[in-house]
Amino acid sequence: MLRSVWFGVICAVVLPANLLAQGTIFVVRHAERSDTTAGAPAMMATDPDLSEAGRTRAASLAAMLKDANVGAIFVTEFKRTQQTAAPLVKVLGITPVVVPAKDTAALVGRLKKVGANALVVGHSNTVPAIVTALGVATPVAVADTEYDNLFIVTLGPVARVIHLRYR
């Protein structure tokens, strides 16, 4: 929860309201899956639910973003992305948009037209591609064992990214 407080401080200092109005995309990987062993890559189940740790992380994400003027939420067809977004969906009353995980181009096209701040919940192999496709020049990486990355992409003539970690 301490990191949630720091996230709020960072948003207040680094991301003033006029910057958020330019279009900010919050990009995260889904939270921990129920088939994940701490510190080790998972043996992928077909479409696992979130674990208890994942549900806790999803709640933390919602607490952090509830006041970030998120007007759109994008998830993939997999339960783990939808369950990660679910607490924020509930708080904001937004219906998430499901975009196939393999269709980064369609997702990015929609993000550039959304006209609001947005949350994107992807996967370890899609988050870097999404951030790059949004125009960020510096590549990012997400390891199979990482669930705590939060990439804040500010759209504009030159896209910028802030990389935070959250619990």
The pLDDT of residue 136:
97
- Residues 99, 104, 105, 111: is their CA dihedral positive or negative? positive
pLDDT in tens, 157-167: 999 999 999 98
Structural domains of the chain, count: 1
Q: Which of 150, 111, 113, 117 is nearest to 133 (CA)?
A: 111
User: Helices 52-65 & 79-92, crossing angle to 10 degrees?
Assistant: 40
Q: Which of 111, 114, 87 is nearest to 126 (CA)?
A: 111
Q: What is the largest CA-CA distance in the chain?
A: 44
Residue 151 domain boundaries: 2-165
CATH number at residue 10: 3.40.50.1240
pTM of the model: 0.84
